[in-house]
Amino acid sequence: MDDLRDERIDKVGLWRHLRDRFRLEWDGIHGGAHWARVGHHGRRMARENGASVHVVTLFACLHDAERFDEYRDAEHGARAAALAETLVGTFFDATSEEMDLLRRACEGHSHGGLMGPLTVQTCWDADRLDLGRVGIRPRAEYLCTVQARAPATIDAAWARSRRWLLRSRA
Ligand SMILES: [Fe+2]
């Protein structure tokens, strides 16, 4: 995480909890480094477009936390949303509106959708901007927001993902 100070989230406690229960390879394509990059992209865009930084930050570390495998696992988003409901009040606070956005973002993030509230779209874009980690360059037509579709954003995200990919293969 690029910023551990957040009075609404016990980030160290939350990450430790999620890491302890994570079923896949922590250094793999859906592990902590991916969560950190999603958080980086999401917070950057949210500060520009007015999406909820809080929801985007929570989405980043929760959306893939309940995966059973590295592949399709169509229900992992729904499981992530259910997990979030068990953690609110312990590791973070959130209003009912924020929880609704987080649920929608988690549930729909792997279904390829483009339409939704701005915060949900920003969450989905933050995740899709990190496709370079599996060798796929993000394409503007599969991104929701103006901020994500900007060529400079895609170029920077691609470079960030590729640096990780090259390091992870070294
Ligand atoms: Fe993801």
Residue 70 alpha carbon to ligand 1 centre in Å: 10
Residue 115 alpha carbon to ligand 1 centre in Å: 18
Are 16 and 108 contacting, i.e. CB atoms less than 8 angstroms apart? no
Residue 21 alpha carbon to ligand 1 centre in Å: 17
Residue 90 alpha carbon to ligand 1 centre in Å: 23
How high does pLDDT run on average in the chain? 95
pLDDT at residue 3 greater than cutoff 90: no
Report the SS3 class of residue 88. strand
First to last CA, the chain: 23
Are 30 and 64 contacting, i.e. CB atoms less than 8 angstroms apart? yes
Residue 62 alpha carbon to ligand 1 centre in Å: 9
Report pLDDT for 169: 82
The pTM of the full predicted model, rounded to 2 decimals, is: 0.95
Report pLDDT for 107: 97
Give residue-wise pLDDT tens across range 89-124: 999 999 999 999 999 999 999 999 999 999 999 999
Spatial CA neighbour of 135 closest among 31, 1, 59, 29: 29
Report pLDDT for 155: 98
pLDDT at residue 8 greater than cutoff 70: yes
Report pLDDT for 5: 61
Q: What is the 3-class SS of 144-169, one letter each residue?
A: CCHHHHCHHHHHHHHHHHHHHHHHHH
Domains, the chain, with CATH or none? 11-169 (1.10.3210.10)
Residue 5 alpha carbon to ligand 1 centre in Å: 23
